[in-house]
Amino acid sequence: MSKPSSSSLLLLLLSATLVATICRADPDPVQDFCVAAAPGGHYNSSYSTTYPGFPCKPSSLVVSDDFFFAAHASGASTDNSNGAAVTPGNVEAFPGLNTLGLSINRVDLAPGGVNPLHTHPRSAELVHVEAGEMLVGFVSTEGRFYSKVVRAGESFVIPRGMMHFQYNVGAGAARAMTVFNSQLPGVVLAAQSLFGAEPEIPDAVLAKSFQVDADTIKLLKSKFRKG
């Protein structure tokens, strides 16, 4: 058998590195912590993300409160058209998460409320229900719908990038904590991104894509476009 050439060995090494990289979520930290720094000590959206996160606050200025987050002690109002509220706990809200590769949201649903179809391009999601009962579901790349009614104390996992939702099927309010293996999972809201995009996606493209007429698309756009 002939010996592999150095270029094929290099190619093999590069492929192995690529596979290892795309199978991971956020990169591993390179120090104990790297609290996201910003003028005033809080995350500032004018900061751009660098690899593997936001710039670190000098450790001499880091305090216990940088590792503490209280915004999930109460939920936001669900008095809206979806009957739902998601309170994010990602690095933008909680600077201590920077470079740690995890984050957490609180999801509140009124009876009949739905956290509408969306995906997270950079993370899987673990849905842990704390109160009530929710139908939680996602669709795989094969077009298969997986779902389960999840009750208090139970969990359901959404693989990375899959379209998913939570729907309150109980009689009272429902609450879940959702945990991510990314400090900033990103969210693509299905209806919002298709019918509320700015500038708008041409009606003809949407009409053909959904096999409906342009009036139906206009109706949908009227619900999701601002102004």
Which residues are annotated binding-site positions for oxalate?
105, 115, 120, 125
Chain positions 152 to 171 lying near ligand GLV, rule: CB under 6 A, are 166
> Which parts of 141-213 fold into alpha helices (H)?
190-195, 203-210
Amino acid (one-letter) located at 121? P
Adjacency order of strands within the sheet including 188-189? 145-151, 133-139, 163-168, 114-119, 188-189
Distance CA 3, CA 11 (A): 15
Known binding-site residues equal 105, 115, 118, 120, 125, 164
> Which parts of 75-177 fold into alpha helices (H)?
none
86 touching ligand GLV, by CB under 6 A: yes
Contacted entry of Mn ion, ligand GLV, none for residue 108, CB cut-off 5 to 8 Å set by kind: none
107 touching ligand GLV, by CB under 6 A: yes
For 103, residues 6+ apart whose C-beta sits below 8 A from its C-beta are: 88, 89, 90, 91, 94, 97, 123, 179, 180, 182, 183, 184, 185
The DSSP symbol for 144 reads -
| Number of residues binding to ligand GLV, judged by CB under 6 A | 7
Nearer to ligand GLV, 86 or 91 (CB): 86
Contacted entry of ligand GLV, Mn ion, none for residue 133, CB cut-off 5 to 8 Å set by kind: none
Shortest Å, Cβ 83 to ligand GLV? 14
CA angle 195, 133, 144 (to 5 degrees): 55
Q: Are 220 and 201 in contact (CB under 8 A)?
A: no
84 touching ligand GLV, by CB under 6 A: no
Shortest Å, Cβ 119 to ligand GLV? 9
Chain positions 136 to 195 lying near Mn ion, rule: CB under 5 A, are none
Shortest Å, Cβ 104 to ligand GLV? 9
Taking the CB of residue 81, how many other CB atoms lie within 10 A of it? Answer: 9
Shortest Å, Cβ 166 to ligand GLV? 6
Residue 118, token pair as written in the block: 């969306």
Known binding-site residues for Mn(2+) equal 118, 120, 125, 164
Nearer to ligand GLV, 26 or 125 (CB): 125
For 99, residues 6+ apart whose C-beta sits below 8 A from its C-beta are: 26, 27, 29, 30, 31, 33, 34, 52, 53, 56, 183
Contacted entry of ligand GLV, Mn ion, none for residue 99, CB cut-off 5 to 8 Å set by kind: none
Shortest Å, Cβ 86 to ligand GLV? 5
Binding site for ligand GLV (CB under 6 A): 86, 105, 107, 115, 125, 166, 178
Binding site for Mn ion (CB under 5 A): 125
